[in-house]
Structure 1
């Protein structure tokens, strides 16, 4: 799938902000720990992906009620739904100078992923740090997508080709207005 940048400047995909707060001490500490033993951008990106996929459970899988949306909170509290996990991975990658965008798939509700552009390349590669479900796995790859979920166009599902530097407003609004996970589950965005 050909992805399209929403912002023309690559610097937008390296920026820190309220959500992708990669300058926060928690994000910097995790990034530093992950960077140790990595030989370059690819191995670091793969390590950061595996960490978010495996060490941060998806909130709906754990039965918790806490809603996280800021990358540093996701890393500190070790919980988040797909959007929050994407924010955490984006922060860890941007902390190490790897351009990272947010992107979405549309099923019954929107599903959040990231797209990574490794240094020295001009190609974006989508990654799904959600982690999949039984029988569906996600893996880091720049040689073909290894996503666990694939939209069915006959069911009005789709892969959005747009790359966002910041979370889509509908996603951020749903996350920040939810007082708990049951409320969020009823208010997840369905359209971009």
Structure 2
């Protein structure tokens, strides 16, 4: 992995999608902060909240498409990229640098079709290292965990099947992905328009 920007401050910025000044996010962050002993325990608590308490839209059959961090929190669900927006926003609220990572994976329905998956990278100040965390949400067959020494994401890539990790830790959500999320009226429409994000990030 390598950073899109060498300026750590770029991984703390707020914008229309990463809207951590929203009252819903601020209130939830302060609630989760209670009882945490240090920054790493706070990151773990936020990660597990987004992973477990905010649903993946597909897992619950929810057709609404969410995008902005506050919207994901308000409705309690989002697809992987949307949940990554919320996770980053909640970390940045506390001044914890967080970036965005993307994978090209085989579709669960057709191994020859590729889909885009979004997750996060988080900077651990005490250890001076970035780690990837996947807050997509676990289900049978998926077991993403908060782990510092060994990466435990939902889908390690299978290069033999043409899967890829984009090696960049982006400072902002991919603009094509954001555009597709915002213009899709429902999740069915979203999947039909997902190809531009793949092309933008992987050239295919």
| TM superposition score category, shorter chain reference | over 0.9
What residue in structure 1 maps to residue 181 of structure 2? 175
Task: Please give the TM-score of this superposition, normalised by the length of structure 2.
Answer: 0.90
Alignment deviations for residues 106-127 of structure 1 (CA, whole Å, 9 cap, x no partner): 1111100000002234311000
Q: Is the 8 A contact 1:56 1:75 kept in 2?
A: yes
CA RMSD of aligned residues (A): 1.1
Q: TM-score, normalised by structure 1?
A: 0.95
Name the one with the larger strand percent.
Answer: 2
1:113 to 96, 109, 119: 119
Measure how far apart 1:177 and its partner are: 1.1
Tell me the SS of whatever aligns to 1:114. strand
Give the equivalent residue in structure 1 for 2:38. 40
For structure 2, the 5+ residue unaligned runs are 106-113
How many angstroms apart in 1 are the aligned matches of 2:188 and 2:79? 12
Number of aligned positions between the proteins: 190
Runs of 4+ in 1 over 4 A off after TM superposition: none
Equivalent position of 1:55 in the other structure: 53
Distance 1:173 1:17 in 2: 14
Shift of 1:160: 1.2
- The CA deviation at 1:69 is 0.5
